[in-house]
Chains A and B, each alone.
Chain A
Amino acid sequence: MTSQTTLLADDASCPASRSLWQLGWQRLRRDRIGLTALWVVLAFVLLALAGWLGLAGSHWRDEVAKPNMPPALFKDYGPATVELTAADIDAAQQHNTSIADASAATGMSAEDDPLAADMAAAQTQAANAAPLAVTPANDSLLVLGSDSRGRDVLQKVIQGTATSLLVGLSGALLAILIGTLLGALSGYFGRRTDDLLMWFYSVFTSVPDMLLLLAFSAVMSRGIDTVIMVMALTSWTGTYRLMRAEFMKHKGREYVQAADAIGASHRSRMFRHILPNVTHLLLVQFSLLTVALIKYEAILSFLGFGVGISQTSWGAMLAEAPAELLQGYWWQMAAVTLFMSLLVTAFSMLTDSLRDALDPKVK
């Protein structure tokens, strides 16, 4: 009697068979490091979303404070700056106007000077514009300080996060799409298709990534969409290799033969039957690529071949760092380094955890 009830209870508690994704999620939830990394990455994605939607960091171009103001916490650690009083500025302006008197400078009378009328017009225009150009001196402290033009480093770094993540995520996504499509065709059909695509692959791998990136950016216009495209075109090769091997392995398996027997088309066998069985590899590949592309983007933007000047990114901010460091303004570089290492560390740890969690051999 009792044995039967326990048997029944066992039956009821016996869980339904779970998919790899459910198992993976369960394993990831038990992995404290992996879970923390996941939350950090999600927080960055949210921050980047806010940046794209203009909710945060959209005022990064505004000159809101004095140039080169140190961060609030370290306000005594910045280099000493000479405060200009209003009297100094007035004196400098007086000096300027006396020199700017064009006729006097050229030693010609106003009638002889062909540019006199233009100069006068320009001077009145400048006088009109001058009151607008003066920004109210803002003494309020900024959390991360300000850059050489008085822009808020916090706003800039948020906008930079948005740009860098956009480039990293969409570049990796595109690269995965190209790699998976070509890899699937190559591994599934084999023969001529495989030969052709392998040739294509060998062409792209025989030139180092960085050189290929530079060659592409030499002929294309600068801008964020170019950077994404260039990165996708140069980094699909790893995914291709992986997917080609997987599709070769899977196409002979029984479940694919069964799909063939019930009349599934090639496309359906490739993308409805095989693809879901290899997606977990793609997820790991995707996060690996994202990290790599974020690093590449920083270097490209630093060298001036990345995002345009109307946008900012971590690389573009780092490009300002050498000149600032020389004057002792270290906080812009520190802010970028902090944000970037946090994201990259979290992403790398998440990748490791994902790889373990989604490994079908582990129970």
Chain B
Amino acid sequence: MLAYILRRLWQMVPTLFGVMLLLFILFNWVGGDPSYILAGKSFSAETLANIRHQLGLDKSLPEQFLIFVQQVLTLDFGTSWSTQQPVADILGSRIGPSLTLALPMLLVSLLLSVIIAAIVAYVRGSLTDRLVTLICTLAMSVSALVYIIAGQYWLAHKLGWFPILGWSDSLATNLWLYVPLPLLLGLVVSLAPDIRFYRSCFVEEMNHDYVRTARAKGLSEQVIMLKHVMRNALIPVVTSLMMSLPYLFLGALLLERFFGIPGMGNEVLNAVDRSDFPVIKAITIYVALATMLFNLLADIVYKLIDPRVQLK
């Protein structure tokens, strides 16, 4: 097991190198010279040269790449171009709000969708099943934007059940006051595809021979569903869950934008808006690292819940 983990960690090195190369090509080569953006309206040749020197743009491309590699290895991405704050400080203050929204959303959504999917799969072929599938298909066809715009307008503005937007410093206030509406809308967006996917996992398992055997030896339907089918059907569920964990760090982009939550997603959008390259680069590197680590974790969890899996 340890050897496997070490080997996988070693394999991440070239991938991380590739991500760095991709980002470097994007921001240092395709992105062009940022010193004009930084200099603002009143630039002289001197200020431009100064800025270029500060950013290391007067060096050759390989040297610039080395600087970037050094930044990634020390996880020190310098300062933001628009606010001059250290990038590490910005990200440190953004991760909390993102997790405050994304973590409860993930848990509630997982619980609800697995339960509904199991029930619907159990009564598969019935009117309820077909109705739920139809509703899911229709719900998936509406853009997430529409749910958020309409939800914010009706539930917050018209009915006044929730604050329209906002965020505070206290976790309790956030959870009670500011998180519920984005959470609800996030659920509406994510439930339909999740239910459909999990339902197909359950249905596939229920067609296996072992279910018939279990039924034949007289086990109750509850035991069959909860003990036999659930355990097998949860394997793809766990995989997809682990794959979605890196998105926790990225936050719910649109929801954070609409509800003024100062999280990572909002920060990414602001950074793209202001051409704040260091922040985008830092977030991308962090999210890529998280993705790779969670992929590894997914494989290990996979092994733990399914003893048949051999790690190679």
B177 touches A (CB below 8 Å): no
Which residues 318-363 of A have a CB within 8 angstroms of B?
A: 318, 321-322, 325-326, 333, 336-337, 340-342, 344-345, 348-349
Q: Are A303 and B287 in contact (CB-based, < 8 A)? A: no
9 A-B pairs whose Cβ atoms sit less than 8 Å apart in the complex: A199-B15, A205-B291, A210-B250, A211-B284, A298-B145, A299-B144, A322-B149, A325-B150, A348-B141
Which residues 18-40 of B have a CB within 8 angstroms of A?
A: 18-19, 21-23, 26-27, 30-32
**Chain A residue at smallest Cβ distance from B146:** A337
B122 touches A (CB below 8 Å): no
Complex Cα gap A230–B138 (Å): 28
Q: Are A203 and B280 in contact (CB-based, < 8 A)? A: no
Given A214-B269, A299-B144, A325-B149, 14 more pairs with CB closer than 8 A: A200-B18, A203-B19, A206-B15, A208-B246, A208-B250, A214-B268, A215-B272, A217-B272, A218-B27, A298-B145, A299-B145, A325-B150, A341-B143, A348-B140
B99 touches A (CB below 8 Å): no
Q: Are A218 and B280 in contact (CB-based, < 8 A)? A: yes
Complex Cα gap A305–B270 (Å): 12
Q: Are A211 and B146 in contact (CB-based, < 8 A)? A: no
With A208-B247, A208-B250, A302-B145 already in contact, the answer to whether A202 and B23 are too (CB < 8 A) is no
- Contacts from A to B (Cβ < 8 Å): 199-200, 202-208, 210-212, 214-220, 295, 298-299, 302-305, 314-315, 318, 321-322, 325-326, 333, 336-337, 340-342, 344-345, 348-349
With A207-B19, A318-B146 already in contact, the answer to whether A345 and B137 are too (CB < 8 A) is yes
Contact of B153 among A304, A325, A345 (CB under 8 A): A325
**Chain B residue at smallest Cβ distance from A200:** B18
Contact of A318 among B14, B141, B143 (CB under 8 A): B143
- The smallest beta-carbon distance between B33 and chain A, in angstroms, is 12
- The smallest beta-carbon distance between B82 and chain A, in angstroms, is 13
- The smallest beta-carbon distance between B135 and chain A, in angstroms, is 12
Complex Cα gap A148–B99 (Å): 38
Complex Cα gap A304–B273 (Å): 9
With A211-B250, A337-B142 already in contact, the answer to whether A202 and B273 are too (CB < 8 A) is no
With A208-B291, A219-B30 already in contact, the answer to whether A214 and B141 are too (CB < 8 A) is no
Q: Are B143 and A295 in contact (CB-based, < 8 A)? A: yes
For the residues of B in contact with A, the DSSP-based class is: helix
Contacts of B142 in A (CB 8 A): 337, 340-341, 344
- Contacts from B to A (Cβ < 8 Å): 14-16, 18-19, 21-23, 26-27, 30-32, 137-138, 140-146, 149-150, 152-153, 157, 246-247, 250, 253-254, 257, 268-269, 271-273, 275, 277, 280, 283-284, 287-288, 291-292
Complex Cα gap A86–B140 (Å): 48
Contacts of A206 in B (CB 8 A): 15-16, 19, 288, 291-292
Q: Which 9 A-B pairs have the closest CB atoms?
A: A203-B18, A219-B31, A341-B141, A344-B141, A345-B141, A218-B272, A206-B288, A325-B153, A202-B15
Q: Are B19 and A214 in contact (CB-based, < 8 A)? A: no
Complex Cα gap A200–B14 (Å): 10
Contacts of A220 in B (CB 8 A): 30
**Chain B residue at smallest Cβ distance from A337:** B146
Q: Are A211 and B287 in contact (CB-based, < 8 A)? A: yes
**Chain B residue at smallest Cβ distance from A340:** B143
**Chain A residue at smallest Cβ distance from B34:** A219
Complex Cα gap A318–B283 (Å): 28
- The smallest beta-carbon distance between B81 and chain A, in angstroms, is 12
Contacts of A315 in B (CB 8 A): 145
